[in-house]
Chains A and B, each alone.
Chain A
């Protein structure tokens, strides 16, 4: 077994601070905002506070939004474009499916504007499987998100794989009852998305390439930044917070935890069980697979194998068994990222905001 990847502290998976304290932290941050709201001043970035006693079930609270991704950990979310693929994903042991109009590889080939998937297809998938259903919206597109919330999608991915409608702003995710996941390439992007209300982060990687190199790069950058944050004195953390454009309290919390305060998955180019296990070893809480499964020539076997490798990444015997379940000749061909033109990179979308 490989030793723990160097920058990982014990807290990457096991917290010295519990889930409850993280929820309380966000409520604490919102307290000032609540007071402002009571005074009639408009402030909408933060959770709505709860009464002491909840008599009637209260939906869409911060705790259930941050809690949802906790139950995806150690699992694989698979991109699908129809009911048949969704069924294969569920049978293979996926923890959720992500419904798209086209797989990222095909988005890349098709060009043009990539938008959210057909509502009818998403609804068909929701009615045919028991696991959660996620779907993607364009960065900044409040109304695609509103529609997905309306039809009852379980999680929304504000995704750079689709064509952004706003280069400067992401959606204010505090306004929704449904949790959001966002992509990030570094700690600053991740914390900005969390400050906007994201309940989960994933690496961006370079979607639709079948090449895990960019996901590795992004995960190592985030882990490295988390590591270096721990040793920083208060004034340096304040400077870092300004640099990243997030509240210093969030930087302090992150430094204390030694990990992102929300669930953190790996995404972008994962195509084999070995890729999935590698990302878990680097500190991912779970895996998104996009084109890797349904652009291969052995989707059911590959899906099951990636599920096994993500769950038992720390057991070499199981990872080898998982890799045995697939054939490299059936892997998607993949794209060399160095051959992509700068304007063909998906990961830079929304990075400025």
Chain B
């Protein structure tokens, strides 16, 4: 199995590290590669879009001609897993909590709507234990200026909820081979979410 991690900006190597550990724990032959150019998409069984600034990742991807091929590959079925900014990139629609809607380049492979910086600024970034469908027991959610998933349509399904103020918002969603989390499993020592996705996409 060959999994790419979009390597233009953000927490790239943290995912490479987690993938290697997940492969090891699953006892699978697996390879994790960094994707920076269109030709790196060749032969991938899945791609992780990491956390970072979604605006930066989108702008650079578009400028070097990676956005279109990546969008096409994911829409044609290349399984994708996005964390935080990666979840924003996978969403069909994104707006900012304070600034509102700004045009930014997205991959848009999942029928979910996200609000960027939903929980506030870095000062409001937090950790909390979550329940995630498909993962036994609790999972430590690390939220850093994270988005919330406020809507899932079609066959997209929210698999983890978090109470925020008076409302319940989505923090993880699944749609076919795609997975999006608001939080950062790659900042924990816990590979269960990576394994959940890998097992889900194994042919």
CA distance A70 to B142 in the complex (A): 13
Q: Are B124 and A311 in contact (CB under 8 A)?
A: no
Q: Are B129 and A53 in contact (CB under 8 A)?
A: yes
Known contacts A19-B186, A71-B84, A94-B56; A59/B124 CB under 8 A:
yes
Chain B residues near A18: list those with CB within 8 A.
14, 17-18, 21, 189
Q: Are B85 and A71 in contact (CB under 8 A)?
A: yes
Q: Are B188 and A154 in contact (CB under 8 A)?
A: no
Chain A residues near B116: list those with CB within 8 A.
130
Interface string of A1-42 (1 = CB under 8 A from B): 000000000000111001111011000000000000000000
Query: Is B172's beta carbon under 8 Å from chain A?
Result: no
Chain B residues near A72: list those with CB within 8 A.
10, 52-53
Query: Is A213's beta carbon under 8 Å from chain B?
Result: no
Most buried by B among A50, A68, A127, A312: A312
Query: Is B150's beta carbon under 8 Å from chain A?
Result: no
CA distance A304 to B58 in the complex (A): 13
Partner of A68, one of B102, B117, B122: B122
Q: Are B64 and A308 in contact (CB under 8 A)?
A: yes
* Residues of A in contact with B, size category: 35 or more
Partner of A130, one of B9, B117, B128, B187: B117
Query: Is A61's beta carbon under 8 Å from chain B?
Result: yes
Query: Is B203's beta carbon under 8 Å from chain A?
Result: no
> What is the CB-to-nearest-CB distance from B168 to chain A, in angstroms, rounded to a whole number?
14
Closest to B95 in A: A130
Query: Is A198's beta carbon under 8 Å from chain B?
Result: no
CA distance A71 to B125 in the complex (A): 13
Known contacts A59-B125, A152-B121; A71/B12 CB under 8 A:
no
Chain B residues near A19: list those with CB within 8 A.
14, 17, 186-187
CA distance A147 to B93 in the complex (A): 35
CA distance A14 to B15 in the complex (A): 10
Q: Are B63 and A20 in contact (CB under 8 A)?
A: no
Q: Are A54 and B127 in contact (CB under 8 A)?
A: yes
Of residues 128 through 146 on chain A, the ones whose CB sits less than 8 Å from some CB of chain B are 128-132
Chain A residues near B143: list those with CB within 8 A.
57, 64
Partner of A131, one of B21, B53, B129: B53
Q: Are A74 and B128 in contact (CB under 8 A)?
A: no
Query: Is A120's beta carbon under 8 Å from chain B?
Result: no
Q: Are B36 and A71 in contact (CB under 8 A)?
A: no
Q: Are A63 and B187 in contact (CB under 8 A)?
A: yes
CA distance A56 to B128 in the complex (A): 6
Chain A residues near B188: list those with CB within 8 A.
20
Query: Is A93's beta carbon under 8 Å from chain B?
Result: yes
Partner of B11, one of A63, A64, A70, A314: A70
Q: Are B142 and A67 in contact (CB under 8 A)?
A: yes
Partner of B9, one of A68, A74, A154, A315: A74
Query: Is B111's beta carbon under 8 Å from chain A?
Result: no
Chain B residues near A55: list those with CB within 8 A.
128-129
Partner of A60, one of B85, B123, B140, B184: B123
Known contacts A15-B17, A54-B140; A60/B125 CB under 8 A:
yes
Partner of B51, one of A24, A71, A127, A307: A71
Q: Are B145 and A154 in contact (CB under 8 A)?
A: yes
Partner of B145, one of A13, A24, A132, A318: A132
Q: Are A68 and B125 in contact (CB under 8 A)?
A: yes
Q: Are A64 and B64 in contact (CB under 8 A)?
A: no
Query: Is A339's beta carbon under 8 Å from chain B?
Result: no
Q: Are B9 and A308 in contact (CB under 8 A)?
A: no
> What is the CB-to-nearest-CB distance from B202 to chain A, in angstroms, rounded to a whole number?
23
CA distance A252 to B106 in the complex (A): 42
Q: Are B14 and A74 in contact (CB under 8 A)?
A: no
Interface string of A135-179 (1 = CB under 8 A from B): 000000000000001001111000000000000000000000111
Q: Are A308 and B60 in contact (CB under 8 A)?
A: yes
Query: Is B16's beta carbon under 8 Å from chain A?
Result: yes
Q: Are B128 and A54 in contact (CB under 8 A)?
A: yes
Closest to B85 in A: A71
Of residues 33 through 81 on chain B, the ones whose CB sits less than 8 Å from some CB of chain A are 36-37, 51-53, 55-56, 59-60, 63-64
CA distance A92 to B9 in the complex (A): 14
Nearest first, the 10 closest Cβ-Cβ pairs linking A and B are: A20-B189, A93-B59, A154-B122, A57-B126, A74-B9, A64-B125, A57-B128, A130-B96, A95-B53, A93-B56
Interface contacts beyond A14-B13, A177-B123: sample of 6 additional A-B pairs, CB < 8 Å, sorted by A: A14-B16, A58-B127, A68-B125, A71-B145, A72-B52, A130-B116
Residues of A within 8 A of B (CB): 13-15, 18-21, 23-24, 50, 53-61, 63-64, 67-68, 70-75, 90, 92-96, 126-132, 149, 152-155, 177-179, 304, 307-308, 311-312, 314-315, 318
Residues of B within 8 A of A (CB): 7-14, 16-18, 21, 36-37, 51-53, 55-56, 59-60, 63-64, 84-85, 96, 98-99, 102, 116-117, 120-129, 138, 140, 142-145, 162, 184, 186-189
A-B contact pairs, 16 of them (CB 8 A): A18-B18, A20-B188, A50-B127, A54-B127, A54-B140, A57-B128, A57-B143, A60-B125, A71-B10, A73-B11, A74-B52, A75-B52, A94-B53, A95-B56, A152-B123, A312-B8
